[in-house]
Chain A
Amino acid sequence: MEGRHFLGTYGLSAGEIGALLELAEYYCRVNNDPASLPLGVLRGKMVANLFFEPSTRTRLSFARAAANLGGEVVELEAKTSSVVKGESVLETAMTLQAMGVDALVVRHAAAGVPAFLARSLSVPVINAGDGAHEHPTQALLDLLTIRQEFGRLEGLTALLLGDIRHSRVARSNLYAMRTCGLRVRFCGPPTLVPEEMTDLGAELAPDVDGALREADVVYVLRIQHERQQAGMLPSLAEYRSLYGIDARRQSLLSDKAVIMHPGPINIGVELTAEAYASARSRVLRQVNNGVAVRMAVLHHLLSRPQD
């Protein structure tokens, strides 16, 4: 892994991913026994949540993970601004480091900001999502969910559906899934699914219905209203009709196939309420696994012997 930081799944080995998943699996079991919490792994350590972009679940998930490990969490309410000023982001991070925080969890709307901070800081930086670049802990929690479901990763087919172009989740999952031996297929409107993704290891699936029949994992991505304003989609209603997971499309799935989504969901656009609530949906399982995966990452980065 890139030294002391956790910036992306690109370049992680199957062994590194496997070790984190094992640790996360262990923490899943621990979390089911609330009496054993908090643990002492992060005793005396402080993790800063530095979110420059609104987030509920990822921010809370990291906070919960740190608390479960016995660490303290400081939340920084960073003002979001459409004009990104790199200097002020760095200044904020340096200030937190000077206060003695032990790790920074960073989310930013601009790709590359966590990597930029990592170059200048000595404490570990964890990427909690940067622009359309990476969201590595999301990919790990997704892999954990899939492995729990099928008992393996190798040889499964994942279909990622929707706005691939703007999705950090799609990228982090692509790299991690390919490394772990999954077949990864992308499907969506051509304006949102760049063909060059094949150079990064994805297959493009032109026909959504056919692709659904072949998938073990149907991974649905959030469709944002902004894509309509940017001229990439005519309307959310048209998207729902062409690519949304509804009762008919659900009926195409194989018996064992599951539906996943990174959240937050636009119910009624990419996924109907029924599909979200169906027995195939693993959305809440993903959220639950998120805490364990983040515990594993914090543990991995913060409890190593001093070097």
Chain B
Amino acid sequence: MELLIRGGTLVDPAQGLHGRFDLLVRDGVVAKVAETITPAGEKVLEAAGKTILPGLVDLHTHLREPGFEEKETVESACRAAAVGGFTGITAMPNTNPVMDDGRTVEYVRLQSGRAGLVRVWPVGAVSKELTGRELAEIGLMHRSGIRAVTDDGRGVSCARLLKNALLYCRQFDLPLFEHCEDEALAAGGQVHDGVAALRLGLPGLPASAETVMLARDLLLAAETGGRLHIMHVSTARAVEMIRQAKDDGVRVTAEVTPHHLLLTEDAVLGFNTFAKVKPPLRAAADVQALRRGLLDGTIDAIATDHAPHTEAEKAGDFLSAPFGIAGLETAFPLLYTHLVRTGIMSLGLLVEKMARSPAAILGIPHGSLEPGFAADLVLVDTEREWTIDRRRFLSKGKNTPFHGWQVTGLPVLTMVAGKVVWKAGSEK
């Protein structure tokens, strides 16, 4: 079974390609990339006027299933991912039951197979029940297919357990994804501990809640030689610390979310629950530092931290509303509009941060369209102007602070292993 994708502009930083290329797909795998491939009877997909990118890979996705199906299911998240140009997402373990054993991992894989849309890479818990006391069955979960471990939702507060987890994961070469938040410093905090918090009279989440735990984690990663990945970096100081640790040879990687790259603490003014997120939206200087960190390689990847919640939950008053932003359907258009079209970064660099780099962190052969790689790709209409409308999300979580934003650039076709899983205009 062959498919020729013809006439598009291919942007694949992993191959150093940016220009007009044809792609031949055979049995779901990229067989050939060349300036011109003459059709020889195979099916042809005309891509003229479109930009072809390797399918985006999300390092940080909350699928909510099992246990919180009113917020999201594996299927609804996969659908949202396909719309957003993602061909693979992770499954965070803070479900009910917690994904801390092989059976829950198998269940999520079964559900993603049933959905039959994008790839799902489960991420197992570090500790049983996420309680931070005993190690979860990391080896058995690894056998069932996890690609990383995390206690996300919270950090691993016990330093000794973190040290043991970093050591233990070495035998599987699994990265440990850390949510850096010192619970004593963060206690009760609602928004960034800055001027907006003072204005609203809300307890603050200080930058030190992130950096205090990060400092400890970097020391333990250095001591153990384990692979540490810092999730949703949000402060300028954290960027500096990670930069220094990388210079020192620590095996650390880092991600940043679209909302931390685009919004400041002011987004919460008026008690806007859609901007209530952990870590909190910070000061303008932090946003600038995060962007610099992304450009200079300190921050390896962009991850959505897609955290869907129900309308009722986010419609409550500010203190009762849960933390989180649904991000799968807006990540690429927002960043393409605000970072690429404004000249802050090239499309190639954005694709590297959203495709090959996250795939490398997960240790999987994706995020590029080099021959031999799976034909996971997305066609983007880079000139299409549209308005973000949360009511039209396919995710069950419609919680976004970006409702009404004007963006340019729309994923119009998403393909996984050579099979079209979403095409613009095909939604119900």
A-B pairs under 8 A by CB, number: 65
**Which chain A positions have C-beta within 8 A of B15?**
none
| 1/0 contact string of A272-285 vs chain B (CB within 8 Å) | 00000000000000
A171 to B195, CA, bound (A): 12
In contact, B201 and A86 (Cβ under 8 angstroms) = no
| Chain B interface residue count, Cβ-Cβ cutoff 8 angstroms | 17
A111 and B202 in contact, given A86-B321, A116-B271, A196-B195 (Cβ under 8 angstroms): yes
A239 contacts partner chain B, Cβ-Cβ < 8 Å: no
Q: Tell me, yes or no, whether A130 is within 8 Å of chain B by CB.
A: yes
- CA of A200 to CA of B199, assembled, Å: 8
Q: Which residue of B lies closest to A134 (CB)?
A: B201
Chain B at the A interface: SS class: loop
User: CB-CB contacts of A67-105 with B at 8 A, as 1s and 0s?
Assistant: 000000000000000001111011000000000000000
Given contacts A116-B271, A196-B194, contact A130 B201 (CB under 8 A): yes
Among A10, A90, A116, point to the contact of B318 (Cβ < 8 A). A116
CA distance A198 to B195 in the complex (A): 9
Instruction: Bin the interface of chain A by size.
Output: 20 to 34
Residue A110 lies at the interface, judged by CB distance under 8 Å to chain B:
yes
A190 part of interface (Cβ distance < 8 Å): no
Chain B proximity mask over A194-206: 1 for CB below 8 Å, otherwise 0: 1011011000000
Chain B residues within 8 Å of A84, by CB: 317, 319-320
Residue pair A86, B200 in contact (C-beta under 8 Å): no
Interface centre among A84, A112, A171 (most CB of B within 10 A): A112
B317/A116 in contact, CB under 8 A: yes
Q: Is A115 an interface residue (CB 8 A)?
A: yes
Closest to A130 in B: B201
**Set of chain A residues within 8 Å of B318, measured between Cβ atoms:** 110-112, 116
Q: Which B residues are CB-close (under 8 A) to A134?
A: 201
Contacts of A197 in B (CB 8 A): 198
| Chain A to chain B contacts (Cβ below 8 Å), 6 pairs | A85-B316, A87-B312, A110-B317, A113-B317, A194-B198, A196-B194
Knowing that A86-B321, A134-B201 touch, tell me 7 more A-B residue pairs with CB under 8 angstroms.
A110-B319, A111-B318, A112-B271, A116-B316, A132-B201, A197-B198, A200-B199
Report the 5 A-B pairs with minimum CB-CB distance, sorted nearest first: A86-B316, A132-B201, A133-B201, A86-B317, A112-B271
List chain B positions with a Cβ less than 8 A from chain A. 194-195, 198-202, 270-271, 312, 315-321
